[in-house]
Amino acid sequence: MLNINLFKNDRKEEGDNQPLYRNAKIVSDEDIVIKAGVPYEGALWVKKKTKSGQDTDMVSIQLKTNDFLIAKQNEENEEEKNTTDIPF
């Protein structure tokens, strides 16, 4: 699972090409591999307060494998294997 916090960019000015939210230091605890053909689930939250109640202006992004769709694909593959004709 990948979680990224992006904070309001105070240097953003109207008409420039600066991002609205950014984080200049993102460090992962582990290697992150996004595999082709694997379904993922993405989510975005806007946060105005931290868990401790402090004011903030940030967005949190989460990307993780969609285990439901992966299980469904595996079931469909098993069904396909079981319905394939056996040649005599």
pLDDT, tens only, 43-64: 999 999 989 999 999 999 999 9
On the question of pLDDT at 40 being above 70, the answer is yes
Report the mean per-residue pLDDT for the chain.
Answer: 90
Asked if the structure places residue 74 within a domain, the reply is yes
Q: Establish if 53 belongs to a structural domain.
A: yes
Regarding pTM above 0.85, the answer is: no
Q: Where are the beta strands (DSSP E) in 1-88?
A: 2-8, 21-22, 40-49, 55-65
Instruction: With respect to residue 24, please indicate whether it lies within any of the assigned structural domains.
Output: no
| Total number of domains constituting the chain | 1
Identify which of 32, 82, 88, 43 has the alpha carbon closest to the alpha carbon of residue 66.
Answer: 43
Tell me: the pLDDT tens digits for 58-83? 999 999 999 999 998 888 877 777 66
CA angle (9 as vertex; 49, 32 as ends), nearest 5: 80
Kindly state whether residue 76 falls inside one of the protein's structural domains. yes
Assigned domain for 17 exists: no
Structural domain for 67, as ranges: 1-11+39-88
CA 29, 31, 36, 38 torsion-angle sign: negative
d(CA 15, CA 25): 25
In a domain? residue 73: yes
